[in-house]
Amino acid sequence: MTGWTRLFISYNQYEVSTVPGASGMAIYNLGDGLLHVGGPNTFTGFCGVHTGWIEARAHILSEPPEQVDTGWDAISEATLWSPSGRLSVIGLMGGTEAGLAGVAVPRGLIRVRVHARGRLHEAVHSDGDPPERHALHIWAVSEQTPSRTLLADPQRRGWQQKPAKAAEWAMLSLAPRPSGRPAILPPLPDDPYQDDSGLSRVTVVRHRPAPVEVPVGVLPAGDLEVRLEPVDGETFSWTWATADEPIFPQPLVALPDDEQSTVRLTRGPDGFTLRHEAVLGRHAFALGVLWDHLLDTAGRYPWMDTLREQAAQAHALADKGPPPAG
């Protein structure tokens, strides 16, 4: 366990990240009053302090905690993908501190439980009040599950969830289009924080209390598509493929994953459980967000509007042709 470390906060936020500088989803899409998930490698924690110091620490556990700790105002948790086995807590615009930078954590999927107390704005925080504290408990997991609230702070408002917006980001992140601009600088070397060599594939798990169905057929993704085909009554195959009718003038041909994966939907005494097995760890968060949308809003593909708009712009540029020489 690291000791309590002072961390400077701006705009009530800090970031927990396993890949420094990794791009992700904007905040205010998925989360609660304590944390908002932003991608496979990061989430944002929320403080009472707008601009100032808090105290934070990280505790690495060998197994999941058996019970929820007492003495905290709010507790939430989320799953991150940690390919390098390092995690940092970074104050927004304030950087990090030695005790919270590059903390050694298990490689692969990890669950991070955030505990917070004393979340008072500095305008009402007095010298007699204890410091605001955030404790992170971290352990290894093999399944990607959604973030959840274990203890809600009654003084904090809830956030409206935006699953369709999150699903749009998820699909676009799984099949990103290369930049159409000519390269000016040489490509960057591989980021060691992204190196997931030797790590096993993982499972995405989602649960629903009411009946749901797997959307058998084709999920459109612009130049690509996902083919969901039944194997038996509760098992389906998930296969990435190129679309029969691509929409961009220079279609994507590289698939996000060349290997077929397996989807299982089973019924139990407390509802229905979907397991998407043998997926790449770096894809697990995005696939989980997609499944949240597909299970709750079948037949709607919010990412396609963005892809069609991008394709129209690409065709317009292609029709203009290259600029005149000289």
Tens digit of each residue's pLDDT (9 = 90 or more) over 136-180: 999 999 999 999 999 998 877 677 889 999 999 999 999 988 765
Burial of residue 71, with CB atoms counted within 10 A of its CB: 0-12 exposed, 13-18 middle, 19 or more buried: exposed
Give the three-class secondary structure for 169.
helix
pLDDT digits (tens, 9 = 90+) for 263-320: 999 999 999 999 999 999 999 999 999 999 999 998 899 999 999 999 999 999 888 8
Name the pTM for this structure. 0.92
Burial of residue 216, with CB atoms counted within 10 A of its CB: 0-12 exposed, 13-18 middle, 19 or more buried: exposed
pLDDT digits (tens, 9 = 90+) for 170-186: 999 999 887 655 556 66
pLDDT at 107 over 80: yes
Q: What tokens appear for 225 in the block?
A: 């598509």
Of 230, 296, 298, 284, which is closest to residue 262 (Cα–Cα)?
230
Question: 194: pLDDT confidence band, cut at 50, 70 and 90?
Answer: confident
pLDDT at 43 over 90: yes
Question: 323: pLDDT confidence band, cut at 50, 70 and 90?
Answer: low
Mean pLDDT of the chain: 91
Q: Which domains does the chain have, with CATH numbers?
A: 5-153 (2.60.34.30), 166-176+200-314 (3.30.530)
pLDDT at 321 over 80: no
pLDDT at 241 over 60: yes
At 109, phi and psi to the nearest 5? -75, 135
**DSSP labels for 34-102?**
SEEEEETTEEEEE-S-SSEEEEEEEEE-SS--SSPPSS-SEEEEEEEEESSSEEEEEETTTB--GGGSS
* Cβ pair 141, 79 in contact under 8 A: yes
pLDDT score for 299: 85
pLDDT score for 325: 60
Q: What tokens appear for 54 in the block?
A: 């808090």
pLDDT score for 188: 58
pLDDT digits (tens, 9 = 90+) for 216-226: 999 999 999 99
